Amino acid sequence: MGASKGAAPNWIETAPAKGSYRSIFKWGDPHAYKHPNAKLVQLLKETFGLGDDHFKVPVSHGNRPVAHGQPSRVITRDHAAAIARIVGDENVSVDDYDRLKFATGKTLEESLRLRQGEVRAVADLVVHPRHKDDVRRLVGYCDREQIPVYVYGGGSSVNFGLWPSRGGVTLVMGTHMNRVVRLNETNQTVTVQAGIMGPDYEGALNDAPRRYHSRHRYTGGHFPQSFEFSSVGGWVVTLGSGQLSSYYGDACDLVVSQEVVTPVGDLKTLDFPATANGPSVNRMMIGSEGCFGVLVEVTLKIFRCLPENRRYFSFVFPSWTKAVEAGREIAQGQFGMPAVFRISDEEETHIGLKLYGIDGTLMDRLMRLRGFQPMRRCLMIASSEGEKRFAGNVKRCAKRICRRFGGMSLTGYPVRQWEPGRFTDPYLRDDLNDYGILIETLDTAVTWDRLHPLHQGVRRLIKARPETLCMTHASHFYAQGTNLYFIFITRAADIDDFVAFQEKILHAFEQFGGSPTHHHGIGKLFSPWLQPHLGDAQMAVLRALKGHFDPNTIMNPGGQLGLDTGGRHWRDIC
Amino acid sequence: MGASKGAAPNWIETAPAKGSYRSIFKWGDPHAYKHPNAKLVQLLKETFGLGDDHFKVPVSHGNRPVAHGQPSRVITRDHAAAIARIVGDENVSVDDYDRLKFATGKTLEESLRLRQGEVRAVADLVVHPRHKDDVRRLVGYCDREQIPVYVYGGGSSVNFGLWPSRGGVTLVMGTHMNRVVRLNETNQTVTVQAGIMGPDYEGALNDAPRRYHSRHRYTGGHFPQSFEFSSVGGWVVTLGSGQLSSYYGDACDLVVSQEVVTPVGDLKTLDFPATANGPSVNRMMIGSEGCFGVLVEVTLKIFRCLPENRRYFSFVFPSWTKAVEAGREIAQGQFGMPAVFRISDEEETHIGLKLYGIDGTLMDRLMRLRGFQPMRRCLMIASSEGEKRFAGNVKRCAKRICRRFGGMSLTGYPVRQWEPGRFTDPYLRDDLNDYGILIETLDTAVTWDRLHPLHQGVRRLIKARPETLCMTHASHFYAQGTNLYFIFITRAADIDDFVAFQEKILHAFEQFGGSPTHHHGIGKLFSPWLQPHLGDAQMAVLRALKGHFDPNTIMNPGGQLGLDTGGRHWRDIC
């Protein structure tokens, strides 16, 4: 398979038109893109039986100006005027574009619909609160007037978490409430406003000696793929995980305390690292996805920033089974955890080696020579961080285990190839979508003992669809289990066909003992699977909390976490 | 100060009389004791101005037979008969002794009152459920009949957690529900019935290859001082911490899933190590102290048992400030945590060196020579565990930090001296109490930045009391803070005098920014401080959960966690 075969596709490289649908659904920086490389294009052509011609003219681009003219569903002129009096005229908008933009997340489905100019739920009014007093007044007013309140952080939701099923008000947290409140070096914590974005957060911590006169540089340790375009508040309320979470912990491990404005008043939790003072209310708010209130401030653990100690390593295994065994043994080895820690199944390895530019190289030939054959071999990429010898020992112990399970070291090369693109893969989607090829991801948590049946069962389902690629990796490790992250590339007759396929995968997660999601949150999209998964008793507890915090059901109503649907499907509420 | 000065006190070495008050309040094994050594006795004599004569005849012993004849407050004969039909006649008791025994924890106050034969709240009926079906039927019956339900695990509560304020039924979990249900080596978890006691739990894990045909030996990693006489269920519902918690985590970190029988039905949580499926209901049950339901089964993380890798180290510092700085630097050093990790303040170091037999030895002389003077010097004792080089590196890094903060290595000797007695110090109390000397402990959680004001403020208060020893250590470390554990030895005019003094210390915890407790739980004793500490908003959340799980307020009613007192003091409910 030659990388240079055929003409290069005619990828779109111009920024979306201002005010266009494309400017809303396109990932990330309007001027940035990341095209599939030649090897991936070749694979797509082979998979879908496409020729060079297919990649000459995009099948859709969504570059038309937004115009939906949806009537306001809840907000009257009196409401709008009252809200403008709270936050100032310049901080409210009833513009069609804003109402759509801040109602939209980053699911494939939303992207596909917007390409067609298909608009469903939008906010009635977009509001940019200036500070927590604004939020208090807004929530109080909306509660009295029974106006739905939705919250927009970075906009990277992949579960319709921002979808304003019932109209009303959407609060945009990042416009003003985006600052570091204080860095506490003694306690190794930082307090930030919820709307601060990933790079601003991490940048402030890295630059702490200059900005806060601290002794050390710090890191937040939280790097989701959406890092550049997601907010710290979003990480917390959706229970996010970063790519280094095996070492630094998931968002729920990082939150020390928080301040949430709820319809029944402010809730502030305390900054003790551990106490025995009854059930942790702090933990109850994490993952509440805007259903209990608006997170306005959060205090997080931070870590010394020690990039100079980072160590990289990669291995190839003869099979997925061996890669999983090595991963589990490392996670249970009691020498600390790698930071980056990913194992890819056979197909993801196959495609990954193309993406990382390893396929066809000397390293590839060496692998084949040593018996690591395509579509059987599986890749592990990893790094370790922390104190120098700690990081060195993690690498040393992990490598010993990898060898024990038949792995061959590939040096740090593959992980270094992966690293620069670790936040930019979502750009690929727009290119593929432009040419009618669909790519989406779904993730699930799993215990070690259910991993293989789940992987096989879900993969079988996905691969049963004609002309469908399915890449799977585990990327967040625990002694008790991991996650499985499925990336599928397919084509669909229409959006409903895609949605039905996606729902089948969710069913398979439940059927084979996975959870609806490991770190994508539930939102509205996955809400039909939450009650079957958690069971009635746990759901009743969540609804009791909902009833406590939000007696008038104004916070993210209409399906979020399945708390208020009364048995209806969230899609039927809109 | 000579260790041999004076005659040895006439310590009681006979086991408590069967059926006596002493057999209830005495710590641990009826036949075991641990007498204060000669140096401690000498210190007590000096502190309280006592001569040898004082230690000849105990001032109280409580060895009289239990007889309180308290009427049943709630349970009628019909109730008792119905309950006996559920569990079998042999599993119910209305015996005076049982009713008192299973109503009693291990506070000093309870011990002092029982020495006087003073009995307050007792259970009406003691029940030993055989399995979770029994518990389901019992809770269902009691809910219908509005009978209070209390739960007895190991009986080591230090906060009146077992105190049956409103009479009713006490369930004794350890009689039958004390087994390992299953060990899952793949997931590195174990599922146990809630009533299993510490040594049985740890013993089963250590012996896993023989009992469960596992590849490895395991440890639970949870060793509270009460280890020998506390139950796994108790650790979980009270948010306990073990002596190695800095490495293995607190009880809340160890619980993977659980099954709780509540008045509104069974609640089972799932065994995923992490998911993003909304707020964690599993976490909400941890620390609920029997107020939401009866924990019947729990699945916990386990760890490979690697005692061969354990490393010991100890340091002496010129001051408490330096010891704290070193402790914080270690906790924030990102090389993993020590397992045992304790720093003692000046006075605890002074007394500890006597208890560990170091005072007056060559090591002591060397310390003094190097400028580490009594009542200024502070001791750190520590160990590390885990994979061999990991454990070695923790020790190496910690030692380097200790030297940086002016510490002098004392080798592993002091920690090895501490270790064999780590579960047996509570035996000392009975000896001291026999001679009218009171010893009690209170612990608080604290962030690093509030540690010194809290330590100084509380210590000032305690030392303002005439003839009072006060030893303080930090023993559970986090990057964000630690705990302070205050041990005070004093005398009191009467029990009320002692109680008033104890309450002053709790006030001081709150005043100086500590929490009511770090790992002793709230129970009823500390409940008056919970609402001021957490604030009304957090308390309202806990009460909402209480209302959900226990609408008829039958679960541990009468003050537990301050959930149902309606503003009254728990002591006024009885």
Give the CB-side neighbour count of residue A524, counting CA atoms within 13 A: 28
Residue B523 has pLDDT above 60, yes or no: yes
Are B533 and A481 inside 8 Å of each other by CB?
no
Are A275 and B334 inside 8 Å of each other by CB?
no
B435 noted as active-site residue: no
Give the CB-side neighbour count of residue A235, counting CA atoms within 13 A: 37
Q: Are strands B169-172 and B125-127 parallel, antiparallel or unpaired?
A: parallel
* 3-state percent breakdown (helix, strand, coil) of chain A, nearest 5: 40, 15, 45
Q: Give the closest of A445, A448, A549 to B186, CB-based.
A: A448
Strand (E) or helix (H) holding A398: helix A388-404
Write out chain A residues lying below 8 Å of B547, CB-based.
Answer: 544
B 430-489 residues inside an 8 A Cβ radius of A: 445-449, 476, 478-483
User: Tens digit of pLDDT for each residue in B150-205?
Assistant: 999 999 999 999 999 999 999 999 999 999 999 999 999 999 999 999 999 999 99
Catalytic residue among B150, B201, B312, B485: B485
Asked whether residue A463 is assigned to any structural domain, the reply reads: no
Output the six-digit token pair for A561. 């976490």
CA atoms A516, A545, B273, A439: torsion sign = positive
In whole angstroms, give the CA distance from residue A416 to residue A425. Answer: 15
Q: A187 with A286, same domain? A: yes
Q: B192 with B297, same domain? A: yes
Please name every residue paired with B470 in a beta bridge, in sequence order, or none if there are none: B488
How many Cβ atoms from other residues are within 10 Å of residue B466's Cβ?
Answer: 9
Testing the interface with A: which of B246, B275, B565 to mutate, by most A Cβ within 10 A?
B275
Residue B2 has pLDDT above 60, yes or no: no
DSSP conformation class of A332: T
Write out chain B residues lying below 8 Å of A306, CB-based.
Answer: 334
A 272-311 residues inside an 8 A Cβ radius of B: 272-281, 283-289, 301, 303-304, 306
Q: How does pLDDT run along chain A (574 residues), one tens digit per residue?
A: 334 456 889 999 999 999 999 999 999 999 999 999 999 999 999 999 999 999 999 999 999 999 999 999 999 999 999 999 999 999 999 999 999 999 999 999 999 999 999 999 999 999 999 999 999 999 999 999 999 999 999 999 999 999 999 999 999 999 999 999 999 999 999 999 999 999 999 999 999 999 999 999 999 999 999 999 999 999 999 999 999 999 999 999 999 999 999 999 999 999 999 999 999 999 999 999 999 999 999 999 999 999 999 999 999 999 999 999 999 999 999 999 999 999 999 999 999 998 888 999 999 999 999 999 999 999 999 999 999 999 999 999 999 999 999 999 999 999 999 999 899 999 999 999 999 999 999 999 999 999 999 999 999 999 999 999 999 999 999 999 999 999 999 999 999 999 999 999 999 999 999 999 999 999 999 999 999 999 999 999 999 999 999 999 999 999 999 999 888 999 998 6
Q: Which residue of A has its CA nearest to B536?
A: A267
**What is the distance in angstroms between the Cα of B391 and the nearest Cα belonging to chain A?**
8
Asked whether residue B219 is assigned to any structural domain, the reply reads: yes
Write out chain B residues lying below 8 Å of A301, CB-based.
Answer: 479-480
Q: Report whether B426 contacts B106 (CB < 8 A).
A: yes
Q: Are strands A294-301 and A378-384 parallel, antiparallel or unpaired?
A: unpaired
**What is the distance in angstroms between the Cα of A288 and the nearest Cα belonging to chain B?**
6
Asked whether residue A435 is assigned to any structural domain, the reply reads: no
**B429 annotated ligand binder:** yes
Q: Give the closest of B256, B277, B306 to A522, CB-based.
A: B277
Residue B241 has pLDDT above 50, yes or no: yes
How many Cβ atoms from other residues are within 10 Å of residue B365's Cβ?
Answer: 10
Q: Report whether A223 contacts A310 (CB < 8 A).
A: no
**B241 annotated ligand binder:** yes
Q: Report whether B550 contacts B146 (CB < 8 A).
A: no
In whole angstroms, give the CA distance from residue B565 to residue B574. Answer: 11
Q: Are strands A255-262 and A294-301 parallel, antiparallel or unpaired?
A: antiparallel
What is the model's pLDDT at position B1?
37
DSSP conformation class of B112: H
Q: Report whether B311 contacts B391 (CB < 8 A).
A: yes
**A241 annotated ligand binder:** yes
**A239 annotated ligand binder:** yes
Write out chain A residues lying below 8 Å of B386, CB-based.
Answer: 334-335
Q: How remote is the C-alpha of B498 from its chain's centroid?
A: 20
Beta-carbon contacts of B107 under 8 Å, excluding residues fewer than 6 positions away, are B157, B158, B159, B160, B440, B525
Write out chain B residues lying below 8 Å of A332, CB-based.
Answer: 188, 304
Instruction: Please identify which residue in the block is written with the tokens 């020690």.
Output: A306
CATH code for the domain of B106: 3.30.43.10
Put simply, whether B61 touches A (Cβ < 8 Å) is: no
Write out chain A residues lying below 8 Å of B277, CB-based.
Answer: 239, 287, 515-517, 522, 530, 533-534
The total number of structural domains that make up chain B: 4
B 494-533 residues inside an 8 A Cβ radius of A: 515-522, 530, 533
A 248-267 residues inside an 8 A Cβ radius of B: 250, 252, 256, 264-267
In whole angstroms, give the CA distance from residue B125 to residue B133. Answer: 19
Are B271 and A240 inside 8 Å of each other by CB?
no
In whole angstroms, give the CA distance from residue A540 to residue A431. Answer: 43
Q: B105 with B145, same domain? A: yes
Output the six-digit token pair for A51. 């020729």
Q: Which residue of B has its CA nearest to A513?
A: B272
Are A521 and B276 inside 8 Å of each other by CB?
yes
Put simply, whether A184 touches B (Cβ < 8 Å) is: yes
DSSP for A515-555 reads -S-SSS--TTTTGGGHHHHH-HHHHHHHHHHHHHH-TT--B
Q: B296 with B318, same domain? A: no
Q: A295 with A325, same domain? A: no
Q: B263 with B347, same domain? A: no
Strand (E) or helix (H) holding B482: strand B481-490
Read off the amino acid at residue B70.
Answer: Q
Would you say how long chain B is, in residues? 574
Testing the interface with A: which of B226, B296, B480 to mutate, by most A Cβ within 10 A?
B480
Asked whether residue B196 is assigned to any structural domain, the reply reads: yes
Q: What is the mean pLDDT of residues B532-560?
A: 98
Task: State in Å, rounded, how far the first CA of chain B is from the last one.
Answer: 48
Q: A284 with A208, same domain? A: yes
Q: B189 with B300, same domain? A: yes
**What is the distance in angstroms between the Cα of A266 and the nearest Cα belonging to chain B?**
7
Read off the amino acid at residue A566.
Answer: G
List the helix and strand counts (H, then E) for chain B: 22, 18
List the helix and strand counts (H, then E) for chain A: 22, 18
In whole angstroms, give the CA distance from residue A365 to residue B182. Answer: 47
In whole angstroms, give the CA distance from residue B276 to residue A444. Answer: 9
Output the six-digit token pair for B171. 């369930």
What is the model's pLDDT at position B5?
57
Question: Looking at B253, B270, B304, which one is the last position of a domain?
Answer: B304
Q: Give the closest of B184, B277, B542 to A449, CB-based.
A: B184
Task: State in Å, rounded, how far the first CA of chain A is from the last one.
Answer: 48
Read off the amino acid at residue B78.
Answer: D
Q: B262 with B363, same domain? A: no
A 403-432 residues inside an 8 A Cβ radius of B: none
Q: Which domain holds residue B88?
A: 77-172
User: Tens digit of pLDDT for each residue in B381-399?
Assistant: 999 999 999 999 999 999 9
Asked whether residue B470 is assigned to any structural domain, the reply reads: no
Q: Which residue of B has its CA nearest to A478?
A: B273
Phi, psi of B383 (to 5 degrees): -145, 165
Write out chain A residues lying below 8 Å of B389, CB-based.
Answer: 335, 393, 396-397
Dihedral of CA atoms B426, B427, B430, B435 in degrees, nearest 10, equals: -100
What is the model's pLDDT at position A5?
57
B182 φ/ψ sector (left φ>0, alpha ψ -120 to 50, else beta): beta
Strand (E) or helix (H) holding A328: helix A320-331
Asked whether residue A517 is assigned to any structural domain, the reply reads: no
Asked whether residue B448 is assigned to any structural domain, the reply reads: no
In 3-state terms, what secondary structure has residue B295? strand
Q: Which residue of B has its CA nearest to A391?
A: B335
Beta-carbon contacts of B574 under 8 Å, excluding residues fewer than 6 positions away, are B120, B121, B163, B165, B558
What is the model's pLDDT at position A223?
98
Question: Looking at A369, A396, A421, which one is the last position of a domain?
Answer: A421
CATH code for the domain of B199: 3.30.465.10
A-B Cβ pairs (cutoff 8 Å, strict) = 282
Nearest alpha carbon to residue B462 among B498, B515, B425, B516: B498
Nearest alpha carbon to residue B338 among B346, B349, B324, B327: B327
Output the six-digit token pair for A386. 């922390």
Q: Report whether B400 contacts B393 (CB < 8 A).
A: no
Asked whether residue A219 is assigned to any structural domain, the reply reads: yes
Q: A294 with A343, same domain? A: no
What is the model's pLDDT at position B357?
86
Question: Looking at B421, B439, B469, which one is the last position of a domain?
Answer: B421
Q: B397 with B380, same domain? A: yes
**What is the distance in angstroms between the Cα of A370 and the nearest Cα belonging to chain B?**
30
**A186 annotated ligand binder:** no
In whole angstroms, give the CA distance from residue B574 to residue B166. Answer: 6
CATH code for the domain of A394: 3.30.70.3450
Q: Which residue of A has its CA nearest to B301?
A: A480
In whole angstroms, give the CA distance from residue A366 to residue A372. Answer: 9
Instruction: Please identify which residue in the block is written with the tokens 């979990």.
Output: B173
Are B516 and A186 inside 8 Å of each other by CB?
no
Write out chain A residues lying below 8 Å of B183, CB-based.
Answer: none
Task: Give the global pTM.
Answer: 0.97
Q: A334 with A321, same domain? A: yes
Give the CB-side neighbour count of residue B142, counting CA atoms within 13 A: 38
